[in-house]
Copies of this chain bind each other. A is one copy, B any other.
């Protein structure tokens, strides 16, 4: 599905991490790991095309992403450090916008998506009246209606409580089981049954990859 060939991100003329060579297939859950400042966020943004000072290549279904931009974006869901939830809108309005902008034309069951992230009854509350965790949950609700197979999640567990983390992990596992792909970063221990960790290593050190389970 996604193939990285000698791929690394460059800042100030220096590669951030040892180039990656890996293939990420349908059904994979990949955790990008590394200490603060290793380049995880930068890598995820490069995958999505939001950062382009990179070396090496990324192939999407065998083709460079640049050539298959529209196709790639159709299949992509990215949740960054800032999830794109507008504070002056309600949860419902935010989700409607996400759906619309990503080209979903069908009707949208906002209530059930919100219920699944523990925000039942919050559909019509403006997001600036929410706590940090509730605010992030609105962004996470997208996972429950977006049909994109490739999920790129940058620290999705930030500010989420224990129960919320469990539900999110279950959702990730379900997505992978249905043939989806998840690439995520987190500093918390994952309790998924199947996942792979790609450790980003400073450019000067050696590269290694650990396979779990």
Contact = CB atoms under 8 A, between A and B. Distances in A.
Interface residues of A, number: 27
A89 interface: no
Contact of A36 (B34, B40, B137, B187): B137
A36 B131 contact: yes
Contacts of A131: 36-41
A164 B38 CA distance: 13
A147 interface: no
Contacts of A36: 118, 131-134, 137, 159-161, 164
A50 B161 CA distance: 24
A130 B41 CA distance: 11
A62 to B, nearest CB: 32
A134 B34 CA distance: 13
Interface in A111-164: 118, 130-134, 137, 155, 158-164
Interface of A: 34-41, 81, 118, 130-134, 137, 155, 158-165, 187-188
